[in-house]
Homo-oligomer: A and B are copies of this chain.
Amino acid sequence: MSERVTWQSIQAEIRRRISEREWRPGELIPGEVLLAEEFGCARATVNRALRQLAESGLVERRRKGGTHVSRHPVRKAVLNIPIIRHQVEQSGSLYSHKLISRHSARAPKTICKTMMLPAGKKQVHLKSLHFSDERPFMFEDRWVNLETVPQISNVDFERTNANEWLIEHALFTHGDITFSAANASEAVAKLLDIDVDAAIFMINRVTWNGLDSITSVQLAYAPGFIMQTRI
């Protein structure tokens, strides 16, 4: 008895043919109809297998042009952007956080620009520290758009941290993220209890609801932080 043909099994077979160079980079592979005949299944099944391979970058598909093995498989890594609490708790540590300051203030030009707001707009400015087992783990410097999230004025951030409150109360449609490295400033070094100029892993994130910006946040991770993924 032969196993039932699934899209996964087809995908595995196609991956094999590509990785063992039966089908070489740049080469045109058979069309969906042909493959469906070969594997003895419906075209939709082959389509599902190939569509996902295209999403992961291993093949490239064009109408009329057919499906080609990628010459330069631009591999895509999927990064999970977790809630800070989970990031800490997943490593088996105890999470806690502390609100350092909270003001309403005119945001600096750069912030207003990235959030597409008129310069000098008043926003809520939050600074907080996140701890892993009582040790400073990450420093968060956040601006929140008062127009899109007015309720924020009444929230007690001593209890809930801003990250989780916003996720719960201001769902975003998309966000822009950058990752970089920077030397710790005096202020950040003091907060994270590290040396001035130590290498800090930085994440900058701006989140949006449609065309309205919600929040712009900079996360400075204490040395030793590593972001992992699989490709």
Residues of A within 8 A of B (CB): 15, 18-19, 21, 25, 72-83, 86, 164, 167-168, 171-183, 197-202, 205, 207, 209, 221, 223, 225-231
Complex contact A181–B201 (CB within 8 A): yes
The 10 closest A-B pairs by CB, nearest first: A181-B181, A181-B199, A181-B201, A175-B231, A199-B199, A179-B227, A77-B79, A183-B199, A75-B81, A180-B226
Please tell me how many copies of the chain the complex holds: 2
Mostly, the A contact residues are strand
* Given pairs A72-B86, A181-B181, 15 additional interface contacts (CB within 8 A): A25-B168, A72-B167, A73-B167, A75-B80, A175-B230, A176-B228, A176-B230, A179-B228, A181-B182, A181-B200, A181-B201, A181-B221, A183-B198, A183-B199, A205-B231
For A184, the closest partner residue in chain B by CB is B199
Which residues of B lie under 8 Å from residue A86 when comparing CB positions? 72, 74
Q: Which residue of B lies closest to A182 (CB)?
A: B199
Contact of A177 among B18, B199, B225, B229 (CB under 8 A): B229
Q: Is the CB of A78 within 8 A of B77?
A: yes
Is A180 a contact of B78 with CB atoms below 8 Å?
no
Q: What are the residues of chain B within 8 A of A77 when measuring CB–CB?
A: 78-79, 81, 177
Residue ID in chain B nearest A200 by CB atoms:
B181
B-chain residues with CB within 8 Å of residue A78 when the two chains form the complex: 76-79
Task: Tell me which residues across on chain B come within 8 A of A177, comparing CB atoms.
Answer: 77, 228-231
Q: Are B74 and A19 in contact (CB under 8 A)?
A: no
Contact, CB under 8 Å: B201 / A200: no
* A74 adjacent to B79 (CB under 8 Å): no
CA distance in complex: A221, B198 (Å): 16
Known contacts A19-B209, A72-B83, A199-B200, A223 near B181 by CB under 8 Å: yes
Contact A227 B180 (CB under 8 A): yes
Complex CA distance for A231 and B173, rounded to whole angstroms: 9
How long is the Cα–Cα vector from A81 to B230 in the complex, in angstroms?
11
Q: Give Cα distance in the complex from A93 to B172, angstroms.
A: 35
Instruction: Kindly identify which residue among B21, B74, B227 contacts A80, using a CB–CB cutoff of 8 Å.
Output: B74
